[in-house]
Amino acid sequence: MDQGTARGFRSLLLLALYVLIAWQSQVIASSSHNVLTPQQKTFFQDNGFLVVENFAASGVCEALKKRASELVSTCNFLELALIHAGQPKPFSWENYYLGKGEKLCFFFEEQAFQFSHPEQLDKARHIKKISYVLHESDPFFKEFSYQPKIMQILNELGWEDPHLLQSMYLFKQPHIGSAVACHQDSTFIHTQPESLIGFWFALEEATIENGCLWVLPGAHLTGLKYKMLKTKEGEIIYDIYDETPWPLAEMIPLEVAKGSLVVMHGHLPHLSRENRSEQSRQAYALHIIDGKSAYLPSNWLPLKSAEGRLP
């Protein structure tokens, strides 16, 4: 396919995505109903998470998956291989992602760095995640992330002035998809008062086999175990409050269908296990704060104050 045809195809896909999302929004706007039932809101308050089925149409999931794979094809893996090889600064992970306001960061599974010829690597089969500002820097993800239905759910859950702060595309590759250790998202993003909430969209079916999310229901009512802080000098440090291990045996799997949304309170402990199955488990995650809270200077991720606000 030549460049002109590829561009035309991309515009068509973006238009299709726009029409699908606009149609969904129209359905919401023209109905007097809330997206969430009172039972769902109570469930979220009690448990710290909520599954909203059929949030995104299958065509929207496919368009986002296709866009993510296009973005991966643009990534410079050789630069990352140098960073991984532990070259002295400026080739360090910190320099790669710290303070990178608008640029996309690409992270690969460990196996990618074991190739003796990095230029021959099949990036599509080894990419782990793309972060942290897809919702700002890519038109497809921006269209999806700023749709009114997201705002409506946030409002219904009590977020009055939501700001999209961070986004991540998670590939969870077949066979080699690595685990994400148990954590609370508010460890990494701080506001005063706390207001972090995560929206995790399953772009493919998520099962125990392919590494679905696991959560600890009700544990969002407990404090943070630790905080990752950036010092005035720009160094990353950890403030530890509680060293007891997570009760992993009490965690429950969230097996969800393609198109489902999982909402998670910033204090909810969650993890995902390795994917050893044949199926990938692709997902898109958004981390959102309330603009009524102060965004603290201890955050590693800079806040672009005017942007990130939902309409």
Q: Which residues bind ligand AKG (CB under 6 A)?
A: 170, 172, 180, 185, 198, 200, 270, 272, 283, 285
Residue 5 CB, nearest approach to ligand AKG (Å) = 34
Closest CB to ligand AKG among residues 230, 270? 270
Token pair of 122 as six digits? 């099949």
Distance CA(263)–CA(110), nearest Å, equals 29
Point out the residue whose Cβ comes nearest to ligand AKG. Answer: 272
Token pair of 290 as six digits? 């309330």
Closest CB to ligand AKG among residues 143, 185? 185
Closest CB to ligand AKG among residues 272, 299? 272
Closest CB to ligand AKG among residues 56, 81? 56
Token pair of 219 as six digits? 């544990």
Closest CB to ligand AKG among residues 40, 210? 210
Residue 129 CB, nearest approach to ligand AKG (Å) = 8
Strand, coil or helix: what is 26?
helix
Residue 62 CB, nearest approach to ligand AKG (Å) = 19
> Which one, of 74, 85, 91, lies nearest residue 113 by Cα?
85
Distance CA(130)–CA(284), nearest Å, equals 9
Residue 3 CB, nearest approach to ligand AKG (Å) = 33
Residue 283 CB, nearest approach to ligand AKG (Å) = 5
Closest CB to ligand AKG among residues 52, 285? 285
Token pair of 203 as six digits? 């772009």
Residue 122 CB, nearest approach to ligand AKG (Å) = 21
Beta strands in the chain, from DSSP E residues, in sequence order: 49-52, 105-108, 127-132, 162-170, 180-183, 191-192, 197-202, 213-215, 226-230, 236-240, 252-254, 261-265, 270-272, 283-290, 294-295
Closest CB to ligand AKG among residues 40, 272? 272
Distance CA(14)–CA(63), nearest Å, equals 8
Contact 243, 161 (CB under 8 A): no
Residue 212 CB, nearest approach to ligand AKG (Å) = 8
Residue 187 CB, nearest approach to ligand AKG (Å) = 10
Closest CB to ligand AKG among residues 17, 170? 170
DSSP state letters, 175-230: TTBPPEEEE-GGGT--EES---EEEEEESS-B-TTTT-EEE-TTGGGS--SEEEEE
Half-sphere exposure of 40 (CA within 13 A, CB side): 16
